Structure 1
Amino acid sequence: MTLDRFRPVADRLLEPFVRTSKAVGLTPDGISAIAFAVAVAAGLAFLLARPAWYVVGALFVALNGWLDLLDGALARELSTDSPAGDLLDHVLDRYADVVIVAGLAGGIGQYALGFAAVTGVLLTSYLGTQIEAVGLEREYGGLLGRADRLALVGIVGVLAAIQPTLGGYSVVALLLGLFAVVGHLTAIQRFYGAWRALR
């Protein structure tokens, strides 16, 4: 499962937003900063753990994902994509992942589960960029990429507002458990693929 394979489709859908961003003078770095602020807002909404706030958080997560695509598309359009911008984008994305997962975990008081989830998320992302650092092509695939995680957070956010438990378990806790298990498996999958390619 990975939504990253649909990046070409997303790029076409982004074209009017790229034109608008360019017309109003937004920069890729500025959009990255806005995306991070939106992620913080999502984390705070999830921390409140109320039905309406779960929906708000889900909307903010969707917006964060869209802006995360837009900053790169705008950088390519303006021919301003650079290592510095890429670094900023990746750092802010990782902090965004942390605040979103922390908000979900804090909202239900499951801090150990949140720790397991966030380490799975961070190691998945780390392996994706570390693979590039050793000379291979950056890895976006695997069992659960960032686009997949954001989509799942958005879906579970809405679900938590409507049906907060499933089989006696919190849907948010189930999501965090999924991130913990599948995140680490994705990291291992990426490592193994890169290791084989390098040997």
Structure 2
Amino acid sequence: MLGQHGRGLTKALFTRPALALARVGVTPNALTVTGTLLTILVAVTTLPQGRFLLGVALLILVVIGDSFDGILARATGTTSVFGAFLDSTMDRLADGAIFGSLVAWAALRLEAGALRTTTIAVGLAVVVLAEVVSYTRAKAESVGTSASVGIAERSDRLVVAGVGAVAVGLGAPQWVLTAALGLIAVGSLITVLQRVLTVRTQLSRREQGEDATP
């Protein structure tokens, strides 16, 4: 949901800086790969250690920089199918690093008990479901349908995780981050179901139309 409303704002804010990068020879694909590598580096070196304030602050900067790739491609007329494919692939790696690092934090930093077990479980659920959310959309497009619906897009998941991590970093109980991960897991599951039902409806209508064709 947040992603749909934020694209216009990012375009207005970052088109000029993106064009400045183009003038010095930076390409959209180079930005995509660089942003992903920086995301992975920041995530694995800060989040497992519980350095949430530093980690989230750096990740915000990296995500802002990473948003330049699409803006740069559109502003310079260099959008491509491969660029979209690369961007989506790199996003999956970045998400895995972020949520995997939060699972590592739970495994390494929380005391043995129900909270630790629950946090690891919901964290792993988020890792899996985040990938399935992306897969359902890609698979829907491969069969000629659209599945862009859902209450938990990538930006929603990252914002909720970031808020939970910052809250714990500021002294909130550790279960706050567990609750944030649980919320993401539930939202992601609902999104998967929404997309499955949407594709089912579209395919059913298509089949009915084909059956009605003389």
Q: Secondary structure at the match of 1:16?
A: helix
Contact 1:39 1:61 in 2 (8 A): yes
**Cα displacement (A) at 1:137:** 4.0
Q: Secondary structure at the match of 1:48?
A: coil
**Cα displacement (A) at 1:58:** 0.8
Q: State the Cα deviation string for residues 40-98 of structure 1 (Å, max 9, x = none).
A: 1332211111xxx2012112332343234211111112222212211111111001110
**Cα displacement (A) at 1:189:** 0.7
Greater CA radius of gyration, 1 or 2? 2
Match of 1:128 in 2: 137
Q: Which runs of 5+ in 1 are unaligned?
A: none
Quick one: distance in 2 between partners of 1:95 and 1:71? 16
Q: Does 1:47 align with 2:14?
A: no
Contact 1:58 1:153 in 2 (8 A): no
Match of 1:143 in 2: 151
Q: Which runs of 5+ in 2 are unaligned?
A: 108-118, 205-214
Contact 1:61 1:150 in 2 (8 A): no
After superposition, the Cα gap between the structure-2 partners of 1:153 and 1:16, relative to the gap in structure 1 and judged at 3 Å, is: farther
Q: State the Cα deviation string for residues 110-167 of structure 1 (Å, max 9, x = none).
A: 433321111111111111222222223461x4111011112222222221211331xx
Residue-pair matches, total: 192
Contact 1:18 1:74 in 2 (8 A): yes
Match 1:163 to one of 167, 171, 175: 171
Quick one: distance in 2 between partners of 1:138 and 1:188? 11
Contact 2:99 2:123 in 1 (8 A): yes
Contact 2:137 2:195 in 1 (8 A): yes
Match of 2:94 in 1: 96
The structure 1 segments of at least 4 consecutive aligned residues displaced by more than 3 Å after TM superposition are none
Q: State the Cα deviation string for residues 10-52 of structure 1 (Å, max 9, x = none).
A: 2111212212221222111111112112221332211111xxx
Contact 2:160 2:184 in 1 (8 A): no
Match 1:177 to one of 182, 190, 199: 182
The RMSD of aligned alpha carbons is: 1.8
After superposition, the Cα gap between the structure-2 partners of 1:77 and 1:155, relative to the gap in structure 1 and judged at 3 Å, is: same
Contact 1:128 1:190 in 2 (8 A): yes
**How high is the sequence identity, in percent, across the aligned residues?**
27
Amino acid corresponding to residue 82 of structure 2 in structure 1: A
Quick one: distance in 1 between partners of 2:5 and 2:86? 23
Quick one: distance in 2 between partners of 1:134 and 1:67? 33
Amino acid corresponding to residue 124 of structure 2 in structure 1: F
Higher relative contact order, chain-length normalized (CA < 8 Å, sep 6+): 1
